[in-house]
Chain A
Amino acid sequence: DTEVTQTPKHLVMGMTNKKSLKCEQHMGHRAMYWYKQKAKKPPELMFVYSYEKLSINESVPSRFSPECPNSSLLNLHLHALQPEDSALYLCASSQEGAYTEAFFGQGTRLTVV
């Protein structure tokens, strides 16, 4: 099973709202990632978690707050977003410490109004 599950699939939120994106995998992967993807652009790395600890933050604004409650779950908390934050948010996982492929979820299409 190479499935990464993301919820919700679609989310519309106002600029004053607080919402969370969720990601789950059961492949035993200890590296998990959040990517942001705009239309017709490649995925852009936001955060990397390694063994449930944040290892990379690609200078992401603080209105995005990641959390890794356990080895299978990854959350992205959203607060006071801007319309330009509207994008497809992708979660991925891979084996830790190995140069292997990452498996992606189907993404959450976020629209900020």
Chain B
Amino acid sequence: EDQVTQSPEALRLQEGESSSLNCSYTVSGLRGLFWYRQDPGKGPEFLFTLYSAGEEKEKERLKATLTKKESFLHITAPKPEDSATYLCAVHPPLGGNTPLVFGKGTRLSVIA
């Protein structure tokens, strides 16, 4: 059973057209939800960590929010350089230090 589900799988936006990416999770006792950006052929770049429902984090045109069942990555007035795959990840509900489990990602294309 997938613990992290991201939607949509791919998203194409015009420059300046705001939208949101969704990450829903099924783990109980969330121990952190993480957003990463990944450019083709590169390693994931850390963006945000969210721990509690209601928490929000912002960085430039990106804003991440968290509820009890899902997280959203809002992109305001995107630019072509925001094109990338956005990955969501959680720590599974196991004891100790457990590695991140990733969703399949949303491939974002921003067209000028």
The chain A residues found within 8 Å of chain B, CB to CB, are: 2, 4, 6, 31, 33, 40-43, 45, 48, 50, 56, 88, 90, 92, 94, 96-107, 109
Interface string of B46-57 (1 = CB under 8 A from A): 100100000000
Q: Are B49 and A109 in contact (CB under 8 A)?
A: no
Determine the chain B residues whose CB is within 8 A of the CB of A101 once the complex forms. 32, 34, 46, 49
The chain B residues found within 8 Å of chain A, CB to CB, are: 31-32, 34, 36, 41-46, 49, 87, 91, 96-97, 99-100, 102-105, 107
A31 and B42 contact, Cβ closer than 8 Å, known pairs A43-B102, A99-B91: no
- 30 A-B interface contacts by CB (under 8 A): A2-B46, A31-B97, A33-B99, A40-B107, A41-B104, A42-B87, A45-B99, A48-B99, A88-B41, A92-B43, A97-B96, A98-B97, A99-B31, A99-B32, A99-B97, A101-B34, A101-B49, A102-B34, A102-B46, A102-B99, A103-B46, A104-B43, A104-B44, A104-B45, A104-B46, A106-B42, A106-B43, A107-B41, A107-B42, A109-B41
Determine the chain B residues whose CB is within 8 A of the CB of A6 once the complex forms. 43
Determine the chain A residues whose CB is within 8 A of the CB of B96 once the complex forms. 97
Q: How far is the CA of A90 from the CA of B87 in the complex (A)?
A: 15
- Of chain B, the residue at the smallest CB distance from A33 is B99
Instruction: Determine how close the nearest CB of chain A comes to the CB of B71; give it in whole angstroms.
Output: 14
Determine the chain B residues whose CB is within 8 A of the CB of A90 once the complex forms. 43-44
Q: How far is the CA of A100 from the CA of B100 in the complex (A)?
A: 9
Q: How far is the CA of A1 from the CA of B70 in the complex (A)?
A: 30
Determine the chain A residues whose CB is within 8 A of the CB of B97 once the complex forms. 31, 50, 94, 96-99
Q: Are B104 and A42 in contact (CB under 8 A)?
A: yes
Determine the chain B residues whose CB is within 8 A of the CB of A100 once the complex forms. 32, 49
- Which of B32, B34, B44, B87 counts the most A-chain CB atoms under 10 A from its CB? B44
